[in-house]
Amino acid sequence: MLEHEDVIAVHKVFEVKSSVCGRAANATSKKETLGECMGCAEVVPRDGKAIVCMQSHAICQSCSGTYINNILENPEYNLPPKCPICSLELNVKVSPHVAPSARPDLTHLQTIERCLNPSQLERFENLMLVYVFATTLTTEDEKLFRCPFCPYFEIRAMSDGAMFMRCQAVNCMKASCTTCKLEVPQLDANYQHRRQSARKLGEIEKHYACAQMSVQKHKVERALEMGLNVPCPSCGISGMKDDNCTHMRCLNCNEFWCYFCGKREQDLNKSSTSHGIWAHNVGWPNRLGERCPMYLSQLHETHDWPTDEDACLAMYHRIRTASFLKQVMDELGSEACEQLDEQFSIFKASGFSFQEIQELSSNRLSSILTHGSKVE
Ligand SMILES: [Zn+2]
Ligand SMILES: [Zn+2]
Ligand SMILES: [Zn+2]
Ligand SMILES: [Zn+2]
Ligand SMILES: [Zn+2]
Ligand SMILES: [Zn+2]
């Protein structure tokens, strides 16, 4: 078992790499470069137009093109922009989440806008405004409908229950299913080509089932999202940890917390034989549920986890995600879940078979790793 001195020593070894255990973040900010690009592994200069998250994950200018195009082409799934490594939201000038006065000072940080060319910037700003609109300006009985193919949007009453939307932007005019976001064919105004119309009607009818399952689909999506993101217990801003220890410092509100059990430092069960957040790690193998390991790879011996921190982090999120999916499956019933998968391939695309969801969610760490959260 690790004693206090050992814990400090282990900590020191990892400190150079650590992003959450203090000092390292300051140390890197003084450096000339931002480290390696997550795409091509080239060194990223600090003064260049790189995309950087608050945990200093960087994407160099030449690699950022693909990332930016993906955001602009699929805003439905990619806004607000997030770090592809840790899922922390990237700095943007317009954001609905935090009041301007409470926002961290962005002047010294790179905002994503800096990396865009003029036409990308125009499109990005349009999309962000729509996003801010959607999250802040719509009332409870209103919903924002966004064209999946261009920046066009409209706000409608929820009670409309609109299955389809037809884009009104002159250079788009596409019709889409508001649930699966796929394009749907449009009928000729005067039904001239009857055979063609019959085929189109058939295609449109397939989307009636989308509308009927839209609430359930949202639940599954929510479970997947909750599995990947672990919110700060104080401010609720989600982030995904990288391969360091389970001690977290929230980059938004500065709270110290435990990634394993999800509790704030003041609520952690601690040994009197040690200090600070480290006291929460003393004697964890015999007191799991109260105390937590400082490194996920320490579970290798007691719980048959991998030896590699990255693989352990993946394991953590697999158990967490499967447990949330199980909650949804229990609520909706397995027949409804199979129908959902048939219509949207939502389980298939998630990388979990129903069998795996059963197995992983009955892992003995499942109840710890979900932090008592329920999929709403
Ligand atoms: Zn690169
Ligand atoms: Zn990151
Ligand atoms: Zn459109
Ligand atoms: Zn559909
Ligand atoms: Zn926080
Ligand atoms: Zn803990």
Q: For residue 19, is pLDDT > 60? A: no
Are 205 and 146 within one domain? yes
Distance 250 CA to ligand 3 centre (A): 38
Residue 228 in any domain: the answer is yes
**Cβ–Cβ contacts within 10 Å for residue 143, how many?**
18
Give the number of whichever ligand sits closest to the CA of residue 166.
3
Q: What would the mean pLDDT of 65-75 be, rounded to a whole number?
A: 82
> What's the pLDDT at 248?
87
> What's the pLDDT at 216?
94
Tokens describing residue 167: 């884009």
ipTM over 0.95: no
Are 81 and 144 within one domain? no
Distance 148 CA to ligand 4 centre (A): 12
Burial class (CB in 10 A: 0-12, 13-18, 19+), 55: buried
Are 198 and 307 within one domain? no
Residue 206, helix vs strand vs coil: coil
Are 221 and 207 within one domain? no
Of 68, 90, 120, the position where a domain reaches its end is 120
> What's the pLDDT at 190?
64
Measured between its terminal Cα atoms, the distance across the chain in Å is: 39
Domain count, the chain: 3
Domain ranges, residue 201? 138-212
pLDDT band at 14 (very low <50, low <70, confident <90, very high): very low
Task: Tell me 362's DSSP state.
Answer: T
The average confidence (pLDDT) of the chain is 80
Q: For residue 6, is pLDDT > 70? A: no
Are 153 and 200 within one domain? yes
> What's the pLDDT at 24?
39
Distance 250 CA to ligand 6 centre (A): 15
Residue 345 in any domain: the answer is yes
Are 85 and 180 within one domain? no
Distance 21 CA to ligand 5 centre (A): 15
Of 164, 179, 212, the position where a domain reaches its end is 212
> What's the pLDDT at 357?
97
Distance 263 CA to ligand 6 centre (A): 6
Are 256 and 335 within one domain? yes
Residue 37 in any domain: the answer is yes
More confident residue, 25 or 287: 287
Are 277 and 309 within one domain? yes
Q: Enumerate residues with CB within 5 Å of ligand 5 (an ion).
A: 232, 234-235, 250, 252-253, 255
Q: Enumerate residues with CB within 5 Å of ligand 3 (an ion).
A: 147, 149-150, 152, 167, 169, 172
Distance 355 CA to ligand 6 centre (A): 29
Contacts of 362 (CB under 8 A, 6+ apart): none
**Cβ–Cβ contacts within 10 Å for residue 284, how many?**
23
Give the number of whichever ligand sits closest to the CA of residue 212.
4
More confident residue, 220 or 274: 220
Distance 223 CA to ligand 4 centre (A): 20
Are 100 and 162 within one domain? no
Give the number of whichever ligand sits closest to the CA of residue 232.
5
Distance 167 CA to ligand 2 centre (A): 35
CATH of the domain at 72: 3.30.40
Give residue-wise pLDDT tens across range 200-211.
Answer: 888 899 999 998
Distance 273 CA to ligand 3 centre (A): 62
> What's the pLDDT at 323?
97
Q: What would the mean pLDDT of 182-205 be, rounded to a whole number?
A: 80
Distance 157 CA to ligand 5 centre (A): 34
Distance 336 CA to ligand 2 centre (A): 36
Compute the C-alpha angle 125/131/134, nearest 5°.
Answer: 145
Residue 166, helix vs strand vs coil: strand
Are 61 and 188 within one domain? no
Q: For residue 188, is pLDDT > 50? A: yes
Distance 376 CA to ligand 6 centre (A): 24
Distance 140 CA to ligand 1 centre (A): 42
Residue 131 in any domain: the answer is no
Distance 290 CA to ligand 6 centre (A): 7
Distance 139 CA to ligand 1 centre (A): 42
> What's the pLDDT at 236?
82
Q: What would the mean pLDDT of 141-169 be, rounded to a whole number?
A: 81
Task: Tell me 88's DSSP state.
Answer: P
Are 107 and 207 within one domain? no
Percent of the chain residues topping a pLDDT of 90: 34
Q: Which residues pair with 59 in a beta bridge?
A: 51
Of 63, 92, 120, the position where a domain reaches its end is 120
Q: For residue 272, is pLDDT > 50? A: yes
Residue 201 in any domain: the answer is yes
pLDDT band at 98 (very low <50, low <70, confident <90, very high): very low
Contacts of 278 (CB under 8 A, 6+ apart): 4, 7, 8, 11, 294
Q: What would the mean pLDDT of 93-105 be, rounded to a whole number?
A: 50
Q: For residue 198, is pLDDT > 70? A: yes
> What's the pLDDT at 243?
57
Distance 263 CA to ligand 4 centre (A): 40
More confident residue, 263 or 127: 263
Distance 58 CA to ligand 2 centre (A): 8
Give the number of whichever ligand sits closest to the CA of residue 150.
3
Are 356 and 235 within one domain? yes
Residue 260 in any domain: the answer is yes
> What's the pLDDT at 192?
64
Give the number of whichever ligand sits closest to the CA of residue 181.
4
> What's the pLDDT at 193?
67
Residue 317 in any domain: the answer is yes
Give residue-wise pLDDT tens across range 325-375.
Answer: 999 999 999 999 999 999 999 999 888 999 999 999 999 999 999 999 999
pLDDT band at 56 (very low <50, low <70, confident <90, very high): confident
Give residue-wise pLDDT tens across range 282-331.
Answer: 999 999 999 999 999 999 988 889 999 889 988 999 999 999 999 999 99
Residue 35 in any domain: the answer is yes
